[in-house]
């Protein structure tokens, strides 16, 4: 076994690998960029080496600097994690040439499976079912258009060297193909350095089911069952679970054996995932009719590997280390069993109600449920951040992975919702409440799964108010009273609890919830009785401190709540959901308001990719005007209103900060 390894990655996967390595008595070396100098993965390792600037191309993609760091520290092997260099055959070969073990498959396997088109051809020769499509080398746009027309719409354009949902575009009409192809190729060249694409028929009502495989240097290969990754947004996974609901033993065996055959076709060694698209021609309740097609093979450890660990009791990183050290697989196929059910939720810095736009900022509050890290347990959190850390625009938006296990899927679902309810993040937008909406939705709870679930169920998933406004306002008022009580002590003449020698006292509170104003009137009665009116709802308000939070009763509603105050905002977390109310003080903010007028601003830090208009053009509300790249994804910026473009304030390739004015538009005059 190795004595020291270097982890060529960052964030939660670097922490994950370090935990297993240290449990096995292996020393670890971290690498870090300028942005990650104080990151958790740096502190998690025994040593750390600075490798460059904040952007991945200046640090985590500089494999020559990483090799130098490994040699400098005496590391014997390099674990690439996932993303970055994990599927780079040149890096794998360079490790070997430098006398270092690459903890992953041989470069030949990465090469064989790394390009989607070539891997499809390889699988076709091996007899693995494929989705109808074009996987050829000729990348002439006119040819690709003709092939798409021949296949029939809808089609999916996919970057041949892609992964992680990047470089993919769904095209539903022939006239939209050229623009979608250009956008896909731009994203592909930026993310993978290769703009080759393939075109495939888009399978209707598809499920995304993948098989975890493992091979060793002795020629053994096994599958560790399947994961269902059908719940996706923007072609990226949101929830993953194992085993796949509704999977028959016959289909599980058939898909597992097909995955092993695919791995053996390229002499695979280490951890890999064979991904299948599964068609449901008989509907959600007819698993025996499901048909599967090879999609791609990811030649690395997957983000969602913890759910496989939870149902098998195996540490897949330990398997990786043992196999890379030349040891045989710890278990053979007959020894592997499924135990219970596990689900993983990806907690990301993003705004689901605004097209899942990535968010940046600081984790001013970061509270996790009671859990065990890197262990086979009922609740587990894999992360690489701490309270106070910043989520920057340079890397992926994922904050943490929340993994739960139960004896049944129903128990796992209940544990996941409870754990999400205990997850409190303040400082930037996250998808935590959205994940709760998905987990508790009828479609997900009853396993009506396909990759269109989020779009199909959007009425139940987006813009939902989990905490009734009157209760949220009552909690905010109670928090204000509790804070005043704590600050002002027992002096009756300085307290703001309504005490006075005569008359009735009322206090007015005004909150902003989203764009809506919420007014509350608190009346102090005799003997400490408090009455509250919020809109048309009226009743006694009772509250008391309970643990670190409050227990609040109002208008026949009773709830515990944790409230985090950030400036004027009250971030309220309850078992049923979360809410944000901003206390309005007209004196404090007098004269601050301003109108955005005809300004179009960057919603996040990033790079300007292109403009679709020029000065003098007339535009309509919702019309795409510009494309920005941030957090490794392209984002289209649309016109906020009808008008005429006056000026483009940046050029393609320019880096911009959040809020920077990109385009000046003169609003159209109403007729």
Q: How far apart are CA 294 and CA 14, in angstroms?
A: 30
Report residue 595's pLDDT band, with 50, 70 and 90 as the boundaries.
Answer: very low
Tell me the two tokens of residue 512: 């902003």
Domain range list for the chain: 4-103, 132-201, 207-461, 469-583, 599-667
> According to the model, what pLDDT value does residue 80 have?
98
Contact criterion met (CB below 8 Å) for 69 and 31: yes
Tell me the two tokens of residue 265: 């076709």
Nearest alpha-carbon partner for 36 in 369, 492, 396, 320: 396
Say which CATH architecture domain 4-103 belongs to.
Answer: 3-Layer(aba) Sandwich (3.40)
CATH superfamily, region 207-461: ATP-grasp fold, B domain (3.30.470.20)
- 530 pairs with which residues across the strands? 524
Tell me the two tokens of residue 470: 């009157």
Asked whether the CA dihedral 110, 115, 121, 123 is positive or negative, the reply is positive
Report residue 670's pLDDT band, with 50, 70 and 90 as the boundaries.
Answer: low
21 has a pLDDT exceeding 80: yes
User: Helix (H, G, I), strand (E, B), or coil: what is residue 447?
Assistant: coil
> According to the model, what pLDDT value does residue 589 have?
41
Mean pLDDT of 228-233: 96
Contact criterion met (CB below 8 Å) for 543 and 532: no
| pLDDT one-digit tens code per residue, 376-391 | 679 999 999 999 999 9
More confident residue, 191 or 332: 332
Identify whether 154 is preceded by a cis peptide bond (ω within 30 of 0). yes
Spatial neighbors of 629 by CB under 8 A, at least 6 apart, are 187, 190, 606, 607, 609, 635
> According to the model, what pLDDT value does residue 593 have?
39
More confident residue, 404 or 491: 404
- CA 96 remoteness from chain centre: 33
501 has a pLDDT exceeding 80: no
- The CA dihedral of 22, 24, 25, 30, to the nearest 10 degrees, is -30
- The CA dihedral of 328, 331, 333, 337, to the nearest 10 degrees, is -160
Residues annotated catalytic, as ranges: 300
Q: How far apart are CA 48 and CA 92, in angstroms?
A: 21
CATH of segment(s) 469-583: 3.30.700
CB atoms within 10 A of CB 495: 15
| pLDDT one-digit tens code per residue, 256-265 | 999 999 999 9
Mean pLDDT of 188-196: 88
Mean pLDDT of 99-107: 97
Asked whether the CA dihedral 86, 90, 92, 98 is positive or negative, the reply is negative
DSSP assignment string, 299-339? -S--TTHHHHHHHH---HHHHHHHHHTTPPPSS-GGG----
- The CA dihedral of 395, 68, 46, 399, to the nearest 10 degrees, is 10
| pLDDT one-digit tens code per residue, 519-572 | 999 999 888 899 999 999 999 999 999 998 999 999 999 999 999 999 899 999
Spatial neighbors of 508 by CB under 8 A, at least 6 apart, are 519, 520, 521, 522
User: Helix (H, G, I), strand (E, B), or coil: what is residue 580?
Assistant: strand
Tell me the two tokens of residue 362: 């600081």
Q: How far apart are CA 518 and CA 46, in angstroms?
A: 52
Return the axis-axis angle of helices 305-312 and 316-324, rounded to nearest 10°: 100
Tell me the two tokens of residue 498: 């309504």
What mean pLDDT value characterizes the chain? Answer: 90
Contact criterion met (CB below 8 Å) for 206 and 284: no
> Residues 348, 409, 423, CA angle at the centre, nearest 5°?
30
Mean pLDDT of 123-149: 90
Nearest alpha-carbon partner for 228 in 168, 157, 311, 289: 311
504 has a pLDDT exceeding 70: no
Q: What share of the chain is helix, strand, coil (3-state, %, to 5)?
A: 30, 35, 40
- CA 129 remoteness from chain centre: 30
- 201 pairs with which residues across the strands? 155
Question: Distance from first CA to last CA of the chain, Å, rounded?
Answer: 77
Mean pLDDT of 293-306: 95
> According to the model, what pLDDT value does residue 585 have?
62
- Percentage of the chain modeled with pLDDT above 70: 93
More confident residue, 225 or 289: 225
372 has a pLDDT exceeding 80: no
497 has a pLDDT exceeding 70: no
Backbone angles phi, psi at 171, to 5 degrees: -120, 125
250 has a pLDDT exceeding 70: yes
Tell me the two tokens of residue 351: 């705004």
- The CA dihedral of 18, 20, 26, 32, to the nearest 10 degrees, is -10
CATH number for 132-201 (one of 1.20.1090.10, 2.40.50.140, 3.30.1490.20, 3.60.20.10): it is 3.30.1490.20
Nearest alpha-carbon partner for 68 in 1, 17, 8: 8
Tell me the two tokens of residue 166: 């990047």
Nearest alpha-carbon partner for 332 in 319, 347, 321, 346: 319
Domain 599-667 = CATH 1.10.580.10? no
pTM score of the predicted model: 0.82
> According to the model, what pLDDT value does residue 590 have?
36
Q: How far apart are CA 16 and CA 12, in angstroms?
A: 6
227 has a pLDDT exceeding 90: yes
């Amino acid at each position: 076994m190795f004595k020291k390894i270097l982890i060529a990655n960052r964030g939660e996967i670097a922490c994950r690998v370090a935990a297993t390595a240290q449990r096995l008595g292996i020393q670890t070396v971290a690498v870090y960029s300028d942005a990650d100098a104080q990151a958790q993965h740096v502190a998690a390792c025994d040593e750390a080496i600075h490798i460059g600037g904040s952007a991945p191309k200046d640090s985590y993609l500089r494999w020559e600097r990483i090799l130098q760091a490994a040699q400098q520290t005496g590391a014997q092997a390099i674990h690439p994690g996932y993303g970055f260099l994990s599927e780079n055959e040149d890096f794998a070969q360079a490790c070997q040439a430098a006398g270092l073990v690459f903890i992953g498959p041989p470069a030949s396997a990465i090469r064989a499976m790394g390009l989607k088109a070539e891997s499809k051809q390889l699988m076709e020769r091996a007899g693995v079912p494929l989705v109808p499509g074009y996987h050829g080398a000729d990348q002439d746009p006119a040819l690709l258009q003709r092939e798409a027309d021949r296949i029939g719409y809808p089609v999916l354009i996919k970057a041949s060297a892609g992964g992680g949902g990047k470089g993919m575009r769904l095209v539903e009409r022939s006239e939209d193909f050229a623009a979608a192809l250009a956008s896909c190729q731009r994203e592909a060249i930026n993310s993978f350095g290769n703009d080759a694409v393939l075109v495939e028929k888009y399978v209707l009502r598809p499920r995304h089911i993948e098989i975890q495989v493992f091979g060793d240097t002795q020629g053994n290969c096994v599958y560790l069952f399947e994961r269902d990754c059908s719940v996706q947004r923007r072609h990226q996974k949101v929830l993953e679970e194992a085993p796949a609901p509704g999977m028959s033993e016959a289909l599980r065996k058939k898909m597992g054996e097909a995955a092993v055959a695919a791995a053996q076709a390229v002499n695979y060694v280490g951890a890999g995932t064979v991904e299948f698209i599964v068609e449901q021609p008989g509907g959600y309740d007819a698993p025996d009719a499901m048909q599967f097609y090879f999609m791609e093979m990811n030649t690395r450890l997957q983000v969602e590997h913890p759910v496989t660990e939870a149902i098998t009791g195996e540490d897949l990183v330990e398997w990786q280390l043992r196999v890379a050290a030349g040891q045989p697989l710890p278990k053979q196929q007959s020894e592997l069993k499924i135990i219970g059910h596990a689900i993983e939720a990806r907690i990301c810095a993003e705004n689901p109600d605004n097209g899942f736009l990535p968010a940046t900022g600081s984790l001013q509050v970061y509270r996790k449920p009671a859990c065990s890290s890197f262990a086979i347990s009922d609740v587990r959190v894999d992360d690489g951040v701490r309270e106070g850390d910043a989520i920057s625009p340079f890397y992926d938006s994922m904050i943490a992975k929340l993994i739960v296990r139960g004896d049944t899927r129903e128990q796992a679902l209940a544990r996941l919702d409870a754990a999400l309810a205990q997850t409190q993040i303040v400082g930037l937008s996250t998808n935590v409440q959205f994940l709760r909406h998905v987990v508790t939705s009828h479609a997900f709870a009853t396993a009506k799964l396909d990759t269109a679930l989020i779009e199909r169920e959007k009425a139940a998933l987006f813009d939902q108010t989990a905490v009734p406004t009157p209760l949220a306002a009552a909690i905010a008022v109670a928090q204000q009273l509790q804070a005043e009580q704590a600050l002002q002590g027992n002096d009756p003449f300085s307290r703001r609890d309504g005490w006075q020698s005569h008359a009735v006292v009322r206090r007015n509170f005004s909150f902003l919830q989203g764009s809506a104003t919420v007014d509350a009137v608190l009346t102090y009665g005799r003997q400490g009785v408090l009455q509250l009116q919020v809109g048309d709802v009226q009743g006694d308000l009772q509250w008391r401190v309970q643990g670190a939070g409050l227990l609040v009763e109002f208008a026949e509603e009773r709830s515990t709540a944790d409230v985090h105050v950030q400036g004027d905002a009250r971030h309220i977390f309850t078992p049923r959901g979360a809410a944000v109310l901003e206390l309005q003080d007209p004196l404090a903010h007098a004269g601050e308001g301003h109108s955005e007028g005809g300004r179009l601003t960057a919603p996040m830090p990033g790079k300007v990719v292109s403009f679709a208009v020029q000065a003098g053009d007339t535009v309509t509300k919702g019309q795409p005007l510009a494309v920005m790249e941030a957090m490794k994804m392209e984002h289209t910026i649309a016109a906020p209103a009808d008008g005429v473009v006056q000026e483009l304030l940046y050029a393609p390739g320019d880096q911009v900060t959040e809020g920077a004015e990109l385009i000046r538009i003169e609003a159209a005059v109403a007729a």
